[in-house]
Each structure stands twice: as structure tokens, then as C-alpha cells.
Amino acid sequence: MATHARLRLLAILGAVAVGWAQEAANDSDSTIRVEVNVVNLPITVTDTKGVFIDGLNKSDFSVWEDGQLVDIRYFTRSVEEDKKPPLFAGFIIDLSNTARLYYKTYQTSIGELAWMLVPEGGRNKGFLLGYRTEVDELVGFTDDPVTLTEKMENLKHGGGSAIFDAIYQACTDKLVSVSYQGASEPRKALVVIGDGHDNASKRSVDEVIHAAQLHQVTIYAVSTVGWGYHHEEEANLFKLARETGGRVVRPMQAVHKDVAGYLSKPQDAGNYQYDVGTGGYAAAQQSAITDAIVEVAGNVQKQYILGYVPSRPFTDQDFRVIDVELGLAGADVEVYHRRGYFPPAASQLPEN
């Protein structure tokens, strides 16, 4: 089953890559210039069904900082991956006792996500953390996806859940900016695979959000909450993503989307949508996870990168609110970007 899922995923990725390459060949827009006194802002745009919108131009975007319209200094299209700053991606996996029940279902697809975000021979780098009662650094920064995926295949579960501590450590240790690079500042993303439950962290969700905003980290999540289950702490994932410009995907909520009449077709073996023993449910699970992984990768890879001159110089460390509008009359779209940022400290800025 995993082999078929892998082949299906690679086929999807191949088709997507060809399309993106063709689009990139037809695009010509300004590229990133090395400039420090700017704010680097990744933006993802989709329609209401989650389909990524390409082909937008610099003139389609307007950006406000603290209510003041700012000057967009540079712009890179969503399809111009080679012109964007490199990506530093962290993968954070739930290793608590409850995770052992579902991890094998996600294992193959998570490995494929590592290949997508940290392709072999590319400029991107990734690392891997696991969390239970404590946080374990499983793989340090590497540009080798094999190292990441091999470790993902050999994980042991047990103990509590310290998801907040894991994200906080990723932001303040692995993704901290020693020196602010402006337009060349790497893109920073975390992908959390878990259910949002925490019973062991020393840090709070608000402390984690502050750390992510301080270090300009976008948080994405693959929720592992099963279909038909309600997990109150899953709201933590949505809060983290919303405040940092990321997304949450819920693959297990899509397992039954292609089968009608779930409650109207009772069976002797139970009220199931899929016939028992056919493998239909397992196939639907893997299909839903594959779609979710492609969606997460697309949110990162299809970003537009805007750089703008801040509304005032970096002379304070007060939080600054960012608003983005698209000049697309009548279009019903979703725009994802971080809600704001904390300016870099004076010690992070290069000397004149």
C-alpha cells in the first residue's frame, strides 16, 4: 500500500513540477536584490477551494504596516523558486504514547514531504525534532533528504506531549537569526505533525507565537486528529498557523469525502463506508494524507516573496502589524501571510 501511495505521490509531484517550470519560463519580473533595510514577506494566495493562484504581479499587491501604506521594493513570483531566498524547514513530529497508534499511517508521506521541501542538491536545509515529555533533536540542519527520511522511519514513541516546547526550541535555537539579512533572509517554516495536545511543556502557546513572530517563522501543521473525533487542543494548531501565516491540513477529515451515505448504509460488520477486508479504508487514508502533504508543500513552494521598506526605521522592538490586500476586483481569494513581526534588535543589524 505504501509503495502505491509513493508512486501516486511522485506522479502528482511530477505533473506539478512540469506545470510550475513551464509557468516560470514564461514569467519575467524583478528579482531579489541584496538589501538589509527591508522586510521579507512570504505570501500564499489561493481561491476558496485551496487552489494556488499564480500569475499575480507586483502591482496586484498592496501592503500596510501599522496602518501605513509601504513601498514594495522587490517582488518574486510564486513560480520563481530559484530566485527566492533559501528555505530553512523544521519537521516536528509527535512521539508521545498516543502517536504510536497512527504514525505508521503518516510515515511514508512525511518522508516525501521532506524530499519536496529539502530536495537533494538544492539550497534548502531541514532539521527534525521529536517531542514527547521532552524534546529530542533527531537530525540537525542538513541538505540531505535521505538523512531526514531514514530517521523518520525509525522513531520510538512513549511518554507525554511537549509540543509547545518543541516549537519554541525550533524557533529560538534552530531558526534564530544571528544577523538580519533583509532581502536575503532565509524563509523559515515549521511543519508540525501532531494533534495539538500538550501536557508537558514549560512554555505556553502565546510564548511560542511570540518566538515564531520574533524570528519570522511560519508554522504549518498536519493534524492527526481522526475522522469523527473532536480534540479541543487541535485549536492550538490553528492558532499557531493563523498568527504566523501558515495553514493546517486535516487529512483524516477527508477520508470519507468520496463515499456517500455513511450513516444510511448500515452493515452487519458495523456502520462503515468501506467494505470490511477490501483495503478500501486504508487506501482512502493514504490518498487523503498524500493530498494533504502536497497541499502543505504547495503552500511553501508557491509563495510570492515581497520585500518592502518598513513604515519606520528599526529603532524599536515593538510588534508591527502587517496587512495585505489584492487588487483583484470581484475575486474571492484567501491570502496567507504572517500577522506581523518584531523588528530585529540593533545587535542583529549589520554595521554601516
Output the pLDDT for position 185.
87
Domains parsed from the chain with CATH numbers: 2-348 (3.40.50.410)
Helical ranges in 118-224 per DSSP H? 145-152, 163-169, 205-214
Output the pLDDT for position 100.
81
Dist. CA 250–CA 243, nearest whole Å = 18
Average pLDDT over residues 43-66: 95
**DSSP element (H, E) containing 173:** none
Nearest to 229 by CA among 266, 203, 255: 255
Which of 141-150, 276-285, 340-349 shows the highest mean pLDDT? Answer: 141-150
Q: pLDDT confidence of 94, banded at 50, 70, 90?
A: very high
Dist. CA 305–CA 331, nearest whole Å = 21
Output the pLDDT for position 227.
63
Q: What angle do CA 53, 194, 334 make, to 5 degrees?
A: 20
Sign of the CA dihedral running 306, 308, 311, 316: positive
Average pLDDT over residues 155-160: 93
Dist. CA 207–CA 189, nearest whole Å = 17
Q: pLDDT confidence of 73, banded at 50, 70, 90?
A: very high
Q: How far is CA 136 from the centre of its chain?
A: 20
Output the pLDDT for position 266.
47
Q: Are 303 and 42 in contact (CB under 8 A)?
A: yes
Q: pLDDT confidence of 267, banded at 50, 70, 90?
A: very low
131-140, 271-280, 286-295, range with the lowest pLDDT: 271-280
Q: Are 185 and 40 in contact (CB under 8 A)?
A: yes
pLDDT, tens digit, 9 for 90 and up, residues 299-335: 999 999 999 999 998 989 899 999 999 998 778 999 9
Output the pLDDT for position 231.
75
Q: pLDDT confidence of 150, banded at 50, 70, 90?
A: very high
pLDDT, tens digit, 9 for 90 and up, residues 328-337: 877 899 999 9
Asked if residue 23 has pLDDT above 60, the reply is no
**Who wins on pLDDT, 260 or 199?**
199
pLDDT, tens digit, 9 for 90 and up, residues 207-234: 999 999 999 999 999 999 876 666 789 9
Q: Are 43 and 303 in contact (CB under 8 A)?
A: yes
Q: For 66-133, give the DSSP string.
A: TTEE--EEEEE-TT-GGGSPPEEEEEEEE-SGGGGGTHHHHHHHHHHHHHHHS-TTSS-EEEEEEESS
96-105, 176-185, 274-283, range with the lowest pLDDT: 274-283
pTM for this model (two decimals): 0.83
